[in-house]
Structure 1
Amino acid sequence: MATMKDIAKLAGVSTSTVSHVINKTRFVSDEIAERVNGAAKELHYYAPSALARSLKINRTNTIGMLVTTSTNPFFGEVVKGVERSCYHLGYNLILCNTEGDATRMKASIETLMQKRVDGLILMCSTLEGEQDEIYDRMGNLPVVIMDWGPTSFACDKIQDNSLHGGYLATKHLIDNGHTEIGCITGPLVKSQAQTRFEGFKQAMNEAKLPLKPEWIIESDFECEGGANAFVQMQQHAHQPSAIFVCNDMMAMGVLNSAHEQSIKVPEDLSIIGYDDIHIAKFMTPSLTTVHQPKYRLGKAAVDALIARIGDSNSEKKVVELEPTVVERNTVIAHR
């Protein structure tokens, strides 16, 4: 019976490289993987099944991820970073959508536990109030949380600095001469919405600018919510010269609603969004926004989880990635 050593000799690579290709424990270039697999086929080598291997080493090289389904492509862009990082590190990814439903989330966790995943990434901000019960169901499974805000249990956490991002967005408007600035927030029960709004208030207070209640409207992080919030803001006689819209999806709704009301952006109204989703630069006009490093968020989550799988007793970490302003065409200097 052929061995990995025989395959290595025929393929002209090391035995460890053969092991990585066959067991999918590390990324190997396509050219080398093809040589190894070709040699294995020629020598009639049969690798042990994934199930048998996982039982032997008590690992499945599989990660579970729970994410809230949304029309917001931000989530898909983060998941892309997670999936690609898993692939390069030799891990499989099982993705479950919670649909924002606590019952479905608990059922998904049970399924992932039965699949014997090595660890879990949670990106379900709509279920912040369910944290304690959810964590109880996971037992000692390694967990990394993305953007849940404060948690009552110890775990690794990956997040963007939403407070600083909200501050940067508002400061960008102020630096362009705007003194009458509105804000369309996300649902303020969510930590992301709260911290972005706090950043807005911090920049306004620092510049000694008034916070006008009629120009501050809470919405839902979706396009239609942004459009409806803008219509609500327009019901007041005096209007701001600029608006910080706390995510790009709502900003799309604002742009559409402004167009329908013959309000020119940025000539009549400057707008800055948040997230820098891929389509932001293809809007008309292209959206000035706050960039979140979505791919790096996903990669950081995978790296943290694999490190936790390898060392369950190390100190829990919070990795915070810093946002930046991306200047495009929806903000101009106020005259």
Structure 2
Amino acid sequence: MAVTIKDVALRANVSITTVSHVLNKTRFVSEPTQKSVIAAVEELNYLPNAVAQSLKGKHTKSIGMLVTTTLNPFYAEVVKAVEKYCYLEGYNLVLCNTDGDFKKTDSYLKMLAQKRIDGVIIMCTEYNDDSFTTISSQSTLPMVVMDWGPIDPHLDRIQDNSFQGGYMATQYLLENNHTSIGYIGGPLDKLPALNRYNGFSKAMADAKLDINPHWVIESDFASEGGKTAMAKILALDELPTAIFVANDMMALGAMCLAQQSGLKIPDQLSIIGYDNISFSAYFSPPLTTINQPKNRLARIAVNTLIERLREDRPLGRTHLIEPDLVVRDSVAKLR
């Protein structure tokens, strides 16, 4: 038979109410009594009924997270950090992969609401402002959105300053005397991709350099997309001396094809990426990239959602996370 709170009370020689106060920290209980109750809990291996507790209180101490896919190392690293901060705050994390499917996202939100999840962190950059409005209107769950989302007084957003990151990447290539610069980016109808491209464009404009439209390829943030984009550039009669690739996964695919085609990186073609995923340091050569501080991104997202839960009202804030440059070996300095 399952051990009950009554069994714990009998073992500790206290009332059931006292056991409840000790476990839920709802009232002062003397230290000797606390130790007696905790000892009884451990001896009997008592596990409180989480469902019953959630019905009595406002919170289940569980947070849901919707993410496009954990196959992408960037998302996987963010999820790992989110889970760490949830654990430190005493929350469980329920992870849902949406696979870029709007219907699947809607289904997961309904499922999480039925399970009385306290709130949701959303990191699905494939959706636009209109689709998010549909998502938010169908769910009463408190939400924090990472890396995208419309300006909304009822929504908290945690965003990488992608414009600044794009500018920084291009500026680094310019500082290394590159003037023939290409760009491989994600879908321009997605905010992070658009901001990175705009940062690239501004840096080129500030340097009074024209952008060669044949060297600008819109792709999909996946390694295969980077490879396909690089194939289009390699098919041209004239090649750039450097390419800003707007995420590390595309940079991996682009570098792979360039090297298979006989180009030496960085001697014949320099490449800079974006995200600083953990294994970008192990590319050949190690990838110079723009770092998104994933640990800080996760910490602020978790803390912001918990603040929303405690305040019991939407705060409508936007936290902008500043990127930084990580210099490795994939960019050559031209004479």
TM-score by length of 2: 0.88
Any gaps of 5 or more consecutive residues in structure 2?
1-5, 27-35
One-letter amino acid of the structure 1 residue matched with residue 165 of structure 2: G
Residues in 2 aligned to 1:278 and 1:36: alpha-carbon distance in whole angstroms = 45
**Retained in 2: the 8 A contact 1:132–1:152?**
no
**Retained in 1: the 8 A contact 2:169–2:325?**
yes
Structure 2 match to 1:87: 87
The structural deviation recorded for 1:295 is 1.7
The structural deviation recorded for 1:103 is 0.8
The alignment status of 1:158 with 2:158, answered yes or no, reads yes
Structure 2 match to 1:133: 134
Tell me the secondary structure at the aligned position of residue 126 of structure 2.
helix
**Retained in 1: the 8 A contact 2:276–2:291?**
yes
Query: After the TM superposition, which residues 200-215 of structure 1 pair with which residues of structure 2 at under 5 Å, given as runs?
Result: 200-215=200-215
The alignment's C-alpha RMSD in Å is 2.6
Residues in 2 aligned to 1:40 and 1:70: alpha-carbon distance in whole angstroms = 37
Residues in 2 aligned to 1:196 and 1:45: alpha-carbon distance in whole angstroms = 53
One-letter amino acid of the structure 2 residue matched with residue 99 of structure 1: D
Structure 2 match to 1:31: none
Structure 1 match to 2:241: 241
The structural deviation recorded for 1:312 is 2.7
The structural deviation recorded for 1:235 is 1.8
Structure 1 match to 2:297: 297
Query: After the TM superposition, which residues 266-285 of structure 1 pair with which residues of structure 2 at under 5 Å, given as runs?
Result: 266-285=266-285
The structural deviation recorded for 1:69 is 1.6
**Retained in 1: the 8 A contact 2:245–2:271?**
yes
**Retained in 1: the 8 A contact 2:182–2:240?**
yes
The alignment status of 1:186 with 2:174, answered yes or no, reads no
Identical counterparts, % of pairs: 46
Q: Deviations over 1:60-83 (max 9, x none)?
A: 011111111264210000001110
Residues in 2 aligned to 1:98 and 1:145: alpha-carbon distance in whole angstroms = 14
Residues in 1 aligned to 2:304 and 2:115: alpha-carbon distance in whole angstroms = 21
Structure 1 match to 2:171: 171
One-letter amino acid of the structure 2 residue matched with residue 133 of structure 1: T
| CA pair 45-276 structure 1, distance change in 2 beyond 3 A | closer
**Retained in 2: the 8 A contact 1:163–1:197?**
yes
The structural deviation recorded for 1:232 is 0.5
Structure 1 match to 2:309: 309
The structural deviation recorded for 1:189 is 1.1
Tell me the secondary structure at the aligned position of residue 274 of structure 2.
coil
The alignment status of 1:227 with 2:203, answered yes or no, reads no
Q: How many residues align?
A: 315
Residues in 1 aligned to 2:100 and 2:174: alpha-carbon distance in whole angstroms = 36
**Retained in 2: the 8 A contact 1:24–1:90?**
no
* Misfit runs of 4+, over 6 Å: none
**Retained in 2: the 8 A contact 1:242–1:269?**
yes
Q: Deviations over 1:277-333 (max 9, x none)?
A: 001001110000000011211111110000000003363211111100100000111
The alignment status of 1:264 with 2:264, answered yes or no, reads yes
**Retained in 2: the 8 A contact 1:24–1:91?**
no
